[in-house]
Amino acid sequence: MKRSLMFLSAAVLALSTAFISSCSDDESGGGSKVPPAKIKTIAFNDGFAIESWAFSYDDQDRVTSISNVYDGGDPATITYTYDDAASELTIDKDGNETVYALDTEGRVIKEYWNEDKTEWEGYQYNSDGRMIKIFEHYSGADHLKYDLTVEDNNTTHRIRYEDDGTTVREDREFTYTIGDNASGIHQIYAVDSEWKNIAGLYGKQSEKLVEAYVRHITEEPGTSYGATYAYTFDDKDRVATQTKNGTSSGGTFTESWAYTYYEDGE
């Protein structure tokens, strides 16, 4: 069962010619790189409701605001305010402000949980700018939450720890297609958000598009939950839709995402 989850179904493997042209140069030299493009909108459908986000950027390609619509309701605005002198970012969502510490590359290294900044969630990156650890700091100590393994510029394992920071709850193992993730679509969900990861705020995403994942759950060693991914592409070989079909303790599920991008000159 584990092996079958590590590979896509025949339908997923038989992707359109758009997928083939979106791949990096292979051994035959027949592929071409997909140029990066800024994500303009994301629409997420979990089978219950559709939620969308429309992103605005500044001249440094940083997100400045997001128009958020849930299930056809009125748009709400999420605002980003950067304090370059203090290396901080404040995000205002529904009147709730959260302050983030940024490193010299503009990546989040702390999400503060209180006003006196004594408790936070912290993030570490490798030398290539990809996230490798998440920890929670409270009671004067760090508690490891996620440990990420990066191989060939792709996150292959997302290890989740219990609150003690030492006991492994789950090792989520990812495999990848040959298709480029040129626009940095977030697929690992160490930072569990559809909108925070845009524009590199939490480092570089995996270089390739996810093919599938398997969940190795410590307390349920006999299970083999996981998911496979299918894609469609636009006329510039960018991901237009992504569909995830998976299994969990609650049964099967399907989630889908639709993407649009800013074009040159916008």
Is residue 244 over pLDDT 50? yes
Please give the average per-residue pLDDT across 234-247, as a whole number.
Answer: 97
Beta-bridged to residue 260, according to DSSP, are 41
What is the DSSP code string of the chain? -HHHHTS--HHHHS--HHHHHTBPP-TTS---PPPP--EEEEEEE-SS-EEEEEEEE-TTS-EEEEEEEETT---EEEEEEEETTTTEEEEEETTEEEEEEE-TTS-EEEEE-STTS-SEEEEEE-TTSBEEEEEEEETTEEEEEEEEEEETTEEEEEEEE-TTSSSEEEEEEEEEEEEE-TT----S-SS--SSTTGGGTT-BPPSEEEEEEEEEETT-TT---EEEEEEEE-TTS-EEEEEEEEEETTEEEEEEEEEEEPPTT-
Q: What is the mean pLDDT of residues 100-120?
A: 98
Q: Mean pLDDT across the stretch 62-76?
A: 98
pLDDT of 33 higher than 90: no
Q: Where are the domains of the chain?
A: 2-261
Stretch 144-157: mean pLDDT, rounded?
A: 98
pLDDT-based confidence at residue 265 (cuts at 50, 70, 90): confident
Judge whether residue 9 has pLDDT over 80: no
Q: Is the pLDDT of residue 17 over 50?
A: no
* Residue 139 pLDDT > 70: yes
Q: Which residues of 19-44 are buried (b: 16+ CB within 10 A; e: fewer)?
A: bbebbeeeeeeebeebeebbbbebbb
Query: What is the average per-residue pLDDT within 38-55?
Result: 98
**Rounded distance, CA 136 to CA 142, Å?**
6
pLDDT at 51 over 80: yes
Residue 198 has pLDDT above 90, yes or no: yes
**CA–CA gap between residue 144 and residue 209 (Å, rounded):** 27
Place 98 in a pLDDT band, splitting at 50, 70 and 90.
very high
Over 60: is that where the pLDDT of 130 sits? yes
CATH numeric code, 2-261? 2.40.160.190
pLDDT of residue 7: 36
Lowest-confidence segment of 2-16, 123-137, 166-180 by average pLDDT: 2-16
pLDDT of residue 34: 85
Strand partners for 175: 212
pTM for the structure as a whole: 0.87
pLDDT one-digit tens code per residue, 154-181? 999 999 999 999 999 999 999 999 999 9
